[in-house]
Structure 1
Amino acid sequence: MTSTDRPLQALLAAHPADLPVPAVREALLQCVQPLTEREQVPLAQALGRVLAEDVVSPVDVPPHDNAAMDGYAFAGASLRPGEALRLRVVPHTVLAGGPAAARLGAGECVRIMTGAVMPEGADTVVPHERVQIEGSTLHLPADTVAPGSHRRCRGEDLRAGHSALPTGLTIGPAALGLLASLGLDRVPVVRRMRVACLSTGNELLEPGAPARPGAIYDSNRHTLRALLTRLGAEVIDLGVVPDEPAAIEAAFRRAAREADAILTSGGVGAGDADHTRQLMQRLGQVAFCHLAMRPGRPFAAGVLPAGDTAAARAPTCLFGLPGNPVAAMVSFLMIVRPALQRLMGATPQVPLPVPAHCTAALKKRPGRTEYLRALVQRQADGRLTATPAEHQGSGVLRSMLEANALIVLAHDQGPVAAGDSVDVLLFDGLL
């Protein structure tokens, strides 16, 4: 994030009241600057990493014309519409991984296996189960295959010298396989993003600690750590920090020295009585605002200087989320996650919504974006339905387990009648 954060400050000035979610998301994307440090990693360790540069194919893929299935290879030019064909079978079988067979003459064919190099003079393969063999003669019924059938052409997947994968791509299983098909054993990637995660408050207990009156177990930090890990970040867990100015300041200063971003929850609302908000303002350039969203209204974003020992480093991004568990999760997914994707060098992505029929009427007033936990199911007629969870309170974390999607009611949208189509974001690929 830049030290000036002009897009965010301009947004705050234009919207003194609650800020629209899409506008805040876009402002943060403009503020955040991607990491530039890169490294080479072995192919086996590249899953989930972000490509630091375009990958150009050094070879043709496939490297030669080859058979797409087991059968017989021959010249497709000998086929005539409506006419059967007789070919002499060359006494040889072309196997995958071996050299091509000798050039085929006119009226000849050869047995070939899937992946084997097509012999010179052949451009078509007929599956073995679709022909009859009598001695050394192949009988091919009329109109069984077309010329060029069941042949993979050299370079049809990728041509040498052409771009194979773009900068900013998060490497998934398919990309990993493609890199392997190019013969690459090392991959240029952006170094892992480091994110410090902490919770503040005297009321918080670590799981496993004895219960005491007035205290609750800290769940937000563990949820956010898991979301960050899924994103591919290296998490610096600063634990639960007591609500004491010196302790909070020490935690923030350490986070600014060691991390590229800081993630906190709670302590960012206007009425909060703790020291977190005051210290954020004193230590860095942090904007506090209310988002026009439900759940999750209070929000903070800005930067903390890296400190004297890391003067060459860019300022550390800071994101302050609301304290209620569901509000913290939804704010992270809809606002912070795309910004962190940009920071880690990846192409920011918000999952595409899927239409579904809402099974219940929903109250909604224009002027804010609402995210409702819901169970999406496919009905016997093929329609998708979305049933809102019974409990929509921002503190009911259990409802995130009972749901598999979020219903998204847009900023300007009004009430929804039962049976209306709504947009849903499926948790698969989001959480």
Structure 2
Amino acid sequence: MSSAAPRTAGQDHLWSVDEHLEDILATVRPLEPIELQLLDAQGCVLVEDVTVPVSLPPFDNSSMDGYAVRVADVAGASEEFPAVLEVIGDVAAGQADLLQVGPGQAARIMTGAPLPPGAETVVPVEWTDGALGEGPVTGMRARSLAPAGADGQVQVYRPAEARAHVRAMGSDVKAGDRALEAGTVLGPPQIALLAAIGRGSVRVRPRPRVVVLSTGSELVQPDQELGSGQIYDSNSFALTACARDAGAIAYRVGAVADDAETLRSTIEDQLVRADLMVTTGGVSVGAYDVVKEALSHVGDEDEAGSGIDFRKLAMQPGKPQGFGSIGPDHTPLLALPGNPVSSYVSFELFVRPAIRTLMGLDDVHRPTTRATLTADEALTSPKGRRQFLRGTYADGEVTPVGGAGSHLVAALAHADALIVVPEDTESVEPGAEVEVVLLR
């Protein structure tokens, strides 16, 4: 959670993008670690190194269905002059009592079964006459082992080197090795490794719980019929998906009408399940900007550090922003503008790093690169504003998608990058090198 109040400045202060982001990251703190069962820990970040308690595999075992034998007993074996060995029994995966393989003997062995004492190598079943009753065929593939003949013997048609088709104990990881480092994000392969070394639970920072709500009496739920002057609520869906993509457990709240008291009570109700709250809409200077009205004076006087600071940023889109904390636990809240492109760009620049910080990750930002601008005409940008334009990036080149309007949703579906035009640049010519934020 947050442990310090955001900075405040005069109402006319124009914050830079970097100042606003620094303030957010200086306020938000990683969540406290907890012990979670493996599947519950998926997507979480380890807070401690994990050491291997037992070697993997924990014993020498066969990588093939076949026969466990001594090397000397099959030396020189061929299809013309096969080695004939006495089959003394079977060794199955999970078997505890193992046979002792002596001179001239063989034990049928299944994939994953431990190599029995006395055996030095494994002969695949395809190299023997034990393969489904078939004869000695070079390269033959068998599906399973057949019982030995009436005389309890098996014929081997090829020699085998020592420890052929044997998975050595500790060949994957050895006892005492470090399996995973602190800071690792647990995905399916990491979960598999933890289970393989016997860890049923692990200490992690939990995935942040992010509550997303949009404001506006004009907003209608998708699948409902639009009335006059109404639009579908896309922001809450987009930002909830963004939060999940960032690694959070995200909850979408239905659009709240333009009523300050309703918004305030809705936010208070949602605090119980929020490590971070995100609102969209109602943060500019309009008469119905209810987020400012509802949250400008939130927080009791004895709750030092509570409250939301509403700001103007030197950026386009996304000039109006709000940030602070709310409630008894000082839950961080980021108030984003309501235009779809503005809210999306604001999320990528400010909310995503906050979520990644709560997770305890070191690298919280989207990757950036330099690219050559490919466009039919120069890009223009307002002086003193850092502009973020949608684009598509490939092979060191970036091409603008859609216009600069903050209401243009369709272009977002085709963009995979943001083109950054600095504050001191008013025009960028085709062929110029630009900074690009990679979104995928």
Per the normalisation by structure 1, the TM-score is: 0.71
* Structure 2 counterpart SS, 1:9: coil
SS of 1:335 mapped into structure 2: helix
Aligned to 2:379: 363
Spell out the pairing of 1:17-96 with structure 2 (5 A cutoff).
17-21=14-18, 23-36=19-32, 38-41=34-37, 43-51=38-46, 53-65=48-60
Aligned-pair CA distance for 1:317: 0.8
User: Does residue 1:326 correspond to 2:337, yes or no?
Assistant: no
2:268 pairs with 1:253: yes
2:194 is the counterpart of 1:211: no
| One-letter identity of the residue aligned with 1:374 | G
* Structure 1 residues 34 and 90: alpha-carbon distance in aligned structure 2, compared to 1, 3 A threshold: farther
Q: Find the aligned partners of 1:295 and 1:122 in 2 and give their Cα distance.
A: 72
Matched letter for residue 182 of structure 1: I
* CA distance in structure 2 between the aligned counterparts of 1:367 and 1:69, rounded to whole angstroms: 69
| 1:393 aligned residue | 405
Relative to the length of structure 2, the TM-score reads 0.70
1:2 alignment partner AA: S
CA deviations over 1:164-217 (Å, ceiling 9, x no partner) = 334554421212221221233444454553333222233333334443333322
Distance of aligned partners of 1:196 and 1:155 in 2 relative to their CA distance in 1, 3 Å threshold: same
Moved more, 244-253 or 109-118: 109-118
Q: C-alpha distance in 1, partners of 2:102/2:337?
A: 73
> 1:122-169, CA deviations, whole angstroms, 9 ceiling, x for partnerless residues?
999999999x89x757468xxxx9x99987553344333444334554
Find 2:199's aligned residue among 156, 159, 184: 184
Q: Could you tell me how far apart the structure 2 residues matched to 1:413 and 1:217 are?
A: 37
Q: 2:430 aligns with which of 417, 421, 428?
A: 417
Q: Contact 1:392–1:399 (CA<8 Å) still a contact in 2?
A: no
Conserved in 2, the CA contact under 8 Å of 1:256 and 1:315? Answer: no
Quick check: 1:32–1:343 contact (8 Å CA) kept in 2?
A: yes
Match in the other structure for 1:349: 364
**Does the C-alpha gap of structure 1 residues 214 and 44 become closer, same or farther in structure 2, counting only changes over 3 Å?**
same
For 1:402, which of 414, 426, 434 is the aligned residue?
A: 414
In the TM superposition, residue 28 of structure 1 has moved relative to its aligned partner by 2.0
Deviation at 1:282, TM superposition (A): 0.4
Q: Show the 5 A alignment for 1:77-116.
A: none
Summarize the Cα distance change of 1:253–1:150 in structure 2 as closer, same or farther, 3 Å threshold: same
Computing the radius of gyration from Cα coordinates, the structure with the larger value is: 2
The answer as to whether partners of 1:52 and 1:188 remain within 8 angstroms in 2 is yes
- The alignment partner of 1:268 has SS state of coil
How big is the shift at 1:222? 2.1
Amino acid at match of 1:28: I
The offset of 1:320, in angstroms, is 0.6
- Which blocks of at least 5 consecutive residues in structure 2 are unaligned? 78-82, 128-137, 140-154, 299-305
Take 1:264 and 1:320, find their aligned partners in 2: how far apart are those partners?
5
| Alignment match of 1:372 (pick from 356, 373, 389) | 389
The residue identity in structure 1 corresponding to 2:414 is: E
Q: How many equivalent residue pairs?
A: 395
Superposed CA RMSD in Å reads 4.6
Q: Does 1:269 align with 2:309?
A: no
Quickly say closer, same or farther: Cα 1:233–1:390, change in 2 above 3 A: closer
CA deviations 1:82-118 (Å, max 9, x no partner) are xxx957897779876668886899xx99998765656
In the alignment, is the contact (CA less than 8 A) between 1:104 and 1:119 conserved in 2? no
Q: Which residue of 2 aligns with 1:82?
A: none
1:301 to 317, 323, 338: 323
Per-residue CA deviations over 1:2-40 (Å, capped at 9, x if unaligned) read 3533xx528x69x9434134x543432231122226353
Change (3 A) 1:358 1:157: farther
Q: Which moved more, 1:169-178 or 1:205-214?
A: 205-214
Moved more, 27-36 or 297-306: 27-36
Q: Which residue of 2 aligns with 1:311?
A: none
Task: Provide, for residues 225-274 of structure 1, a one-character-per-residue CA deviation record: whole Å limited to 9, x for no partner.
Answer: 23334445444544322222322322233334553222101222355652
- For the residue of structure 1 that corresponds to 2:212, the secondary structure is strand
1:393 maps to a residue whose letter is G
CA distance in 1 between counterparts of 2:69 and 2:371 reads: 51
Q: 1:392 to 1:86 in 2, by over 3 A?
A: farther
What CA distance in whole angstroms lies between the structure 2 residues aligned with 1:149 and 1:353?
48
Relative distance call for 1:388 and 1:69 in structure 2 (3 A) is farther
8 Å CA contact retained: 2:366, 2:437? no
Does the CA contact (< 8 Å) of 2:247 and 2:356 recur in 1? no
Q: 1:339·1:348 contact (CA, 8 Å) conserved in 2?
A: no
Distance 1:123 1:305, change over 3 A: farther
What residue identity is the alignment partner of 1:164?
A
Q: Distance in 2 between matches of 1:176 and 1:230?
A: 19
CA separation in 2, counterparts of 1:197 and 1:239?
A: 9
Q: Any conservation in 2 of the 1:20–1:368 contact (CA below 8 Å)?
A: no
1:287 aligned onto 2:309:
yes
Cα deviation for residue 354 of structure 1 reads 5.8
Relative to structure 1, the CA distance from residue 151 to residue 212 in structure 2 (aligned partners, 3 Å threshold; closer, same or farther) is same
Percentage of identical aligned residues: 34
Given the alignment of the two structures, is residue 317 of structure 1 paired with residue 314 of structure 2, yes or no? Answer: no
- Partner SS for 2:311: strand
The aligned residue for residue 130 of structure 2 is: none
